């Protein structure tokens, strides 16, 4: 087991990508804390891990609330004695054409997708620095590396806010790797391509989802969408000691997005 007896926090851990990561980490021996704003989804997600023989607990957490995050990290340390791994996965999207993007659209995306990564890492860093060990993995996006057209391929609007936030996550990863590296903490990033998750349908009709997914298949060298397990596995690499000499790196897990190559 690559994470035997490690304590891991996964934000947005109760569904989609976060749940796949939580499941894999628990299977690899970690005690997983699912931190999610969707409080109703937490009990079922935790129970499914326990039913599979893993260790898990959950907590309702809003990654945009700095004071709440500091209290949450303190509680995890009080319960488990340490925090070894933080996966910054929580995210939202508001696809809007640039001309009609509102301040509210911009703020919610930047607050959750970028500021949330900063706040969560800032809250966990003192605990990791104190123990001279830590693994932080940030979830960015292929949209953080290149623009995509809007109102095409099942995308209802532009991605200015989302792409800006995810690009920021990549640069934040590099700067945090520099600051925390001397204290034994690695900070790396995953940039996913196209995966079918509840997130895919958050701003699309069922017809738009299918159009979007078919288009994305056509832009991928491997000719198919990825599975959540194929995304969780590279996250495990960064969270484990297999990557002990890797930091500040962004790994594209996108099946070879031809429009990004």
Residue pLDDT tens, the chain, 261 long: 999 999 999 999 999 999 999 999 999 999 999 999 999 999 999 999 999 999 999 999 999 999 999 999 999 999 999 999 999 999 998 878 888 889 999 999 999 999 999 999 999 999 999 999 999 999 999 889 876 655 555 555 678 899 999 999 999 999 999 999 999 999 999 999 888 766 665 566 777 777 777 877 888 899 988 999 999 999 999 999 999 999 999 999 999 986 766
Confidence at residue 158, expressed as pLDDT on a 0 to 100 scale:
72
State how far the alpha carbon of 258 is from the alpha carbons of 149, 234, 248, in Å: 15, 20, 24
125 in Cβ contact with 186 (< 8 Å): no
Confidence at residue 159, expressed as pLDDT on a 0 to 100 scale:
84
Confidence at residue 199, expressed as pLDDT on a 0 to 100 scale:
60
> How far apart are the C-alpha atoms of 240 and 87, rounded to whole Å?
12
Nearest to 96 by CA among 162, 147, 181, 45: 162
User: Known catalytic residues?
Assistant: 162
23 in Cβ contact with 87 (< 8 Å): no
Confidence at residue 99, expressed as pLDDT on a 0 to 100 scale:
84
CA 101 to chain centre: 24
179 sits in which H/E element: helix 160-180
Pick the CATH number of 7-250 from 3.40.50.720, 3.30.420.40, 3.40.50.970, 3.40.50.170: 3.40.50.720
Confidence at residue 198, expressed as pLDDT on a 0 to 100 scale:
64
> How far apart are the C-alpha atoms of 233 and 177, rounded to whole Å?
21
Confidence at residue 120, expressed as pLDDT on a 0 to 100 scale:
98
């Amino acid at each position: 087991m690559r994470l035997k007896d490690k304590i891991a926090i996964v934000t947005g851990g109760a569904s989609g990508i976060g749940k796949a990561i939580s499941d894999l980490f628990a299977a690899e021996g970690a005690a997983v804390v699912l931190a999610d704003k969707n409080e109703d989804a937490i009990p079922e997600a935790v129970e499914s891990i326990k039913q599979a023989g893993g260790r898990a607990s959950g907590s309702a957490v809003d990654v945009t609330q700095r004071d709440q995050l500091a209290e949450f990290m303190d509680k995890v340390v009080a319960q488990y004695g340490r925090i070894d791994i933080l996966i910054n996965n929580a995210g939202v999207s508001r696809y809007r054409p640039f001309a009609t993007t509102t301040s509210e659209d911009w703020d919610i995306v930047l607050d959750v997708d970028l500021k949330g990564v900063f706040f969560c890492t800032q809250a966990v860093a003192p605990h990791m620095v104190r123990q001279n060990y830590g693994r932080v993995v940030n979830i960015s996006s292929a949209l953080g590396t290149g623009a995509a057209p809007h109102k095409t391929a099942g995308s209802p609007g532009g991605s200015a806010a989302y792409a800006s936030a995810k690009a920021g996550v990549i640069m934040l990863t590099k700067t945090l790797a520099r600051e925390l590296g001397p204290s034994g903490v690695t900070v790396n990033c995953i940039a996913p391509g196209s995966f079918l998750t509840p997130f895919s349908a958050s701003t699309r009709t069922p017809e738009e989802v299918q159009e979007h997914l078919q288009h994305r298949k056509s832009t991928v060298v491997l000719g198919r969408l990825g599975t959540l397990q194929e995304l969780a596995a590279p996250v495990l690499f960064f969270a484990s000691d297999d990557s002990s000499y890797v930091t500040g790196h962004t790994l594209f897990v996108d099946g070879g997005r031809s429009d990004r190559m």
